[in-house]
């Protein structure tokens, strides 16, 4: 075996394809692609933990400073993973990205990598359960002070962000009641005191996210959701400036071990190819489902940010240009009626993922948010009849018929 002589196009005959003028759909197909000497069409899975150096001197040089397309160990760099990082960074509009083993590795990595004992963080209260655990249990255990606010209330953000606040964190659309946090307004408040803005934008999807243009400094995704889009693999990603990603996040992730595997990155790369088409089709179907359900006497409320009745419909249009792919509705009759409804569904599956090609219903009060005290469920609007629906890629008419059959079974 002769290693590629240095200076010649070695294992990778072409650097990553990157053209910032490309439009989203083109970027989703081509951005970041790297090809080996075989010129393979599809992105290769570099299922390798390490890389062979042509000499001891080359190994030394790479450990001092790796070149732009050089890797050392898959925990902090692999060609397939880097393709995915380059592609998602282009879509999000950030300089760089770091791919992680799950969405939670991304949330905890983004926060813990930059925080230390004595720092102050402000966070919205309506969070995904595990995000709440990171902020409420983990960070405070290590001496970080966390203030929780009602994410919708700008006055609360203004009061909580004080000079010295290190970071603010929020999910731009809350789970499961789909309340929006105004990214532009909260970023302005946070930047006024010098805080870094970290947004978990899963519910907005990377397609409807304009978080960076609206002021966010760091955007995290669970790629398990829309980016995979077929419910196959766990993954996550942190998007930000090159200084933040390579200077703050990478050293932390590299030593604590929450990186994405090359096989997962390959799944996510393939998911990205159809991400725009899928998110738009799902959002269109979600809007049709929401309109069909709105006003139904068996429901006490239908929550969809694309409906005029949503109290933040204007903000949704401004911030996302879409109502998104998720909706929620409250079944009159509470838990028993909600369960009868769910059990009667044929197409729509009972599960707790979202952003999948398969439509999914969730009963938050007894599953994802089961462990919250009743008082907190009430504060968050998680009533016994509340159903969360992640709209998939099925025909909207079939979904509406399935939902109607479910409602008839109440």
Ligand X SMILES: *Cc1c(COP(=O)(O)O)cnc(C)c1O
Residue nearest to ligand X (CB): 103
User: Which CB sits closer to ligand X, 172 or 214?
Assistant: 172
User: Which CB sits closer to ligand X, 12 or 286?
Assistant: 286
- Nearest distance from C-beta of residue 235 to ligand X, angstroms: 6
- Nearest distance from C-beta of residue 200 to ligand X, angstroms: 5
Q: How far apart are CA 174 and CA 164, in angstroms?
A: 26
- 8 A C-beta contact, residue 136 and residue 130: no
- Nearest distance from C-beta of residue 352 to ligand X, angstroms: 9
User: Which CB sits closer to ligand X, 130 or 376?
Assistant: 130
Q: How far apart are CA 187 and CA 212, in angstroms?
A: 10
- 8 A C-beta contact, residue 112 and residue 139: yes
User: Which CB sits closer to ligand X, 92 or 402?
Assistant: 92
Phi, psi of 80 (to 5 degrees): -70, -40
User: Which CB sits closer to ligand X, 173 or 403?
Assistant: 173
User: Which CB sits closer to ligand X, 132 or 292?
Assistant: 132
Q: How far apart are CA 171 and CA 126, in angstroms?
A: 8
Q: Which residues contact 158 (CB under 8 A, 6 or more apart)?
A: 189
Binding site for ligand X (CB under 6 A): 102-104, 107, 128, 130-131, 171, 175, 200, 202, 222, 224-225, 234, 236
Q: And the tokens for 297?
A: 């006497």
User: Which CB sits closer to ligand X, 53 or 133?
Assistant: 133
Q: And the tokens for 17?
A: 């394809």
Strand, coil or helix: 36: strand
Nearest to 151 by CA among 200, 118, 108: 200
- Nearest distance from C-beta of residue 355 to ligand X, angstroms: 8
The residue behind tokens 């007894």 is 366
- Nearest distance from C-beta of residue 135 to ligand X, angstroms: 12
Q: Which residues contact 27 (CB under 8 A, 6 or more apart)?
A: 87, 90, 91
- Nearest distance from C-beta of residue 10 to ligand X, angstroms: 35
- Nearest distance from C-beta of residue 18 to ligand X, angstroms: 27
- Nearest distance from C-beta of residue 201 to ligand X, angstroms: 8
Q: And the tokens for 35?
A: 């090809």
User: Which CB sits closer to ligand X, 222 or 261?
Assistant: 222
- Nearest distance from C-beta of residue 382 to ligand X, angstroms: 15
User: Which CB sits closer to ligand X, 220 or 315?
Assistant: 220
Nearest to 225 by CA among 169, 171, 304, 181: 171
Q: And the tokens for 357?
A: 């090609």
CB atoms within 10 A of CB 356: 24
């Amino acid at each position: 075996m002769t290693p590629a002589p240095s200076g010649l196009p070695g294992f990778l005959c072409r650097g990553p394809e990157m053209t910032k003028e490309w439009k989203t759909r083109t970027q989703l197909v081509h951005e970041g692609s790297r090809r080996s000497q075989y010129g393979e069409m599809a992105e290769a899975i570099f299922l390798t933990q390490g890389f062979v150096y042509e000499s001891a001197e080359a190994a030394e040089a790479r450990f001092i400073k790796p070149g732009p397309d050089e890797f050392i160990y898959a925990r902090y760099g692999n060609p397939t993973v880097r393709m995915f990082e380059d592609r998602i960074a282009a879509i999000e509009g950030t300089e760089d990205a770091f791919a992680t083993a799950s969405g939670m590795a991304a949330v905890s990595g983004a926060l813990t990598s930059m925080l230390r004992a004595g720092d102050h963080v402000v966070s919205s209260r309506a969070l995904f359960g595990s995000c709440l655990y990171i902020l409420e249990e983990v960070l405070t255990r290590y001496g970080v002070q966390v203030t929780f606010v009602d994410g919708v209330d700008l006055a609360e953000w203004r009061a909580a962000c004080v000079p010295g606040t290190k970071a603010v964190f929020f999910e731009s659309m809350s789970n499961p009641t789909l309340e929006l946090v105004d990214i532009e307004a909260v970023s302005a408040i946070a930047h006024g005191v010098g805080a870094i803005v970290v947004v978990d934008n899963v519910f907005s999807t990377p397609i409807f996210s304009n978080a960076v243009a609206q002021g966010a400094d760091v955007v995290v995704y669970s790629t398990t959701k829309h980016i995979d889009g077929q419910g196959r693999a766990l993954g996550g990603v942190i998007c930000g400036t090159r200084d933040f990603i390579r200077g703050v996040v990478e050293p932390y992730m590299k030593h604590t071990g929450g990186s994405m595997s090359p096989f997962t990155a390959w799944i996510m790369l393939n998911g990205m190819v159809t991400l725009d088409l899928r998110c738009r089709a799902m959002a269109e179907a979600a809007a049709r489902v929401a309109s069909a359900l709105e006003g139904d006497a068996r429901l006490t409320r239908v929550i969809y940010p694309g409906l005029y009745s949503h109290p933040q419909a204007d903000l949704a249009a401004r911030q996302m240009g879409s109502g998104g792919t998720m909706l929620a509705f409250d079944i009159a009759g509470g838990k028993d009626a909600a369960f009868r409804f769910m059990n009667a569904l044929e197409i729509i599956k009972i599960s707790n993922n979202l952003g999948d090609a398969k439509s999914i219903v969730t009963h938050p009060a007894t599953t994802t948010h089961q462990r919250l005290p009743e008082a907190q469920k009430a504060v968050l609007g998680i009533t016994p009849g509340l159903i969360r629906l992640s709209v998939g890629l099925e025909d909207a008419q079939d979904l509406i018929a399935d939902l109607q059959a479910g409602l008839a079974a109440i």
